[in-house]
Chains A and B, each alone.
Chain A
Amino acid sequence: MTATITLEKNRTPRQRLAASAYQGRHAAVTAGSHLFDLMALGKALILCPDAYRKLKPELQRHGYQQKPNLPRVRGKCDATKQFAPNAYFLVKGEAA
C-alpha cells in the first residue's frame, strides 16, 4: 500500500520570504529569557514602550541605545509579540 505526500513548495519570492519571516519567541520561552538571548547575540531589539520602560536598566547595562536616525519603528515587540506602532528600536553600542 502506498501513500502520496504532497508538499506545497514555496515558489515565488513572496512565498519564500513569508516562510523565512521571524515568528517571534516560542510560547515555552519567557520574554526575559528570549530578550537576554537576543542581547547576547547582539541583535537589534524592537520594544514597545512598556517593555522598554521595564528593561531600560538592563538595556543600558548591555550597551544598547537608540540610533539617532532611527529611534522608533513600527513592528512586533520582541518581548510581548504584539504590534507596536511606535516601538523603540535599539542596537548594540558600536552599531549606533
Chain B
Amino acid sequence: MRFAYLLSSNSTPWAMKYQVGESIADVGVPIIPGGSGEEGVTKATTTAAANCLGCNEDTATIVTTQQTDNSDPERTVSVIVDPNAVWEATLSGGATSGTALTLYEENTGNTDGLIVTTGADFSNFDEGAIWGFDGNNPGIARKIITGDATNADVGIPFPNDIAIGDNFLIAPFWPSEVQYVQLTSDLTQVDASAAVDTNNNNFIPIDAKFRGQGDDGRTKSAVLLVAADHMFGHGG
C-alpha cells in the first residue's frame, strides 16, 4: 500500500522509526506493535491490524546476534504513523499480489441497466461494487444491492443498456459502508476475490478508483483505506 493523502488540514504526515521484531521484506505493509516478548514492531495479517501504526516505507532484516565489529545490530523501519493517513491499495484478483481482476461477461442483456447476469454467483459480493470494464458502461460503478447465485442487482441503473458481451469487474466493498478488507498474502494489496466483510476491523474503504479497460482496470483499480483501529487515533 502507498501513502495517498491525509484526512486533515495538515498536508505533511508524521514519520517515525521503530526497531523491528521480525524481518520485513516489502514496502507498504501495515505495521503493528510487537506482541509480548517480541523485539519490536511486526507485520499485520491479511485480516487483522489491531493497533495499526501505518505502513512502512523501507525494509529491515532483524539481527539478534552481537556483531563481530561491534556495530549496532538495531534494525528499524520507517513508518508513516499519522492516524489521518489514507492508504491506496491496488485491487488484486486473488490472494497473490498482482493477480488481474476477474472479468464477468454479461450473457443475457438488460435494458433497464439494473441487473448484471454473467452465470457467476454474486452471493459473496452482496453490498459490494460492480463496474463496467468495457462495453456500454466502462468505468461506471454501482453498489450491488442484491448479489445472489445468478445476478448482481444495482439500485441505481447504469446509464446505458447492459449488452451481451459487456464485461464487468467486482469488488467486495462499497466506499462509505461499514466494511473492511482482506489483504493479499504479502499484505501490499487488497484481495478483491474475498467475500464482503464486516468483521475484520482492519481497514475501511473510503474511496475507490474503479477503472475501465482504457485505464488498465484489471490491474490498476485501487481502493483508498483508513485504519479502523489506529494506535494513535481515537480507536487506539
Residues of A within 8 A of B (CB): 10-11, 13-14, 16-17, 20-22, 26, 37, 41-44, 46, 67, 69-70, 72-76, 85-87, 89, 91-92, 95
A91 in contact with B57 given A44-B78, A46-B78 (CB within 8 Å): yes
Q: For A69, what are the chain B residues with a Cβ–Cβ distance below 8 Å?
A: 2-4
Additional pairs, 4, CB under 8 Å, beyond known A22-B18, A44-B78: A17-B53, A44-B15, A73-B12, A73-B15
Q: For A89, what are the chain B residues with a Cβ–Cβ distance below 8 Å?
A: 15, 57, 78
A75 in contact with B27 given A17-B231, A43-B58 (CB within 8 Å): no
Give complex CA distance A70, B33 in Å: 23
> Closest 3 A-B residue pairs measured CB to CB?
A22-B17, A20-B40, A73-B15
Summarize B's interface: helix, strand, loop or mixed. loop
Contact B15–A46 (Cβ < 8 Å):
yes
Nearest residue in A to B58 (C-beta to C-beta)? A44
Does B19 count as interface, using CB distance less than 8 angstroms?
A: yes
Contact A43–B33 (Cβ < 8 Å):
no
Contact A16–B34 (Cβ < 8 Å):
yes
Contact A16–B33 (Cβ < 8 Å):
yes
Nearest residue in A to B4 (C-beta to C-beta)? A69
Closest Cβ–Cβ distance, residue B18 to chain A (whole Å): 5
Give complex CA distance A10, B37 in Å: 9
Give complex CA distance A46, B78 in Å: 9
Does B156 count as interface, using CB distance less than 8 angstroms?
A: no
Residues of B within 8 A of A (CB): 2-4, 12-19, 21, 27, 32-36, 38-41, 50-51, 53, 57-60, 71-72, 74-76, 78, 80, 231, 236
Q: For B236, what are the chain A residues with a Cβ–Cβ distance below 8 Å?
A: 14
Q: For B58, what are the chain A residues with a Cβ–Cβ distance below 8 Å?
A: 42-44, 91-92, 95
Closest Cβ–Cβ distance, residue A35 to chain B (whole Å): 13
Give complex CA distance A27, B39 in Å: 23
A73 in contact with B33 given A13-B51, A22-B76, A42-B59 (CB within 8 Å): no
Q: For A16, what are the chain B residues with a Cβ–Cβ distance below 8 Å?
A: 33-36, 38
Kindly identify which residue among B2, B12, B53, B78 contacts A85, using a CB–CB cutoff of 8 Å.
B12
Q: For B18, what are the chain A residues with a Cβ–Cβ distance below 8 Å?
A: 17, 20-22
Q: For B80, what are the chain A residues with a Cβ–Cβ distance below 8 Å?
A: 70, 73
Kindly identify which residue among A10, A17, A42 contacts B41, using a CB–CB cutoff of 8 Å.
A17
A13 in contact with B231 given A44-B57, A73-B80 (CB within 8 Å): yes
What are 22 residue pairs bridging A and B, where the CB atoms are less than 8 Å apart in the complex? A13-B51, A13-B231, A14-B236, A17-B53, A17-B231, A20-B18, A20-B33, A20-B41, A41-B75, A43-B60, A43-B78, A44-B57, A46-B78, A67-B57, A69-B2, A70-B80, A73-B14, A74-B15, A76-B16, A89-B57, A89-B78, A95-B57
Give complex CA distance A85, B10 in Å: 11
Closest Cβ–Cβ distance, residue A8 to chain B (whole Å): 14
Give complex CA distance A26, B39 in Å: 19
| Max chain A Cβ within 10 angstroms of own Cβ: one of B12, B14, B38 | B12
Give complex CA distance A11, B35 in Å: 9
Q: For B74, what are the chain A residues with a Cβ–Cβ distance below 8 Å?
A: 22
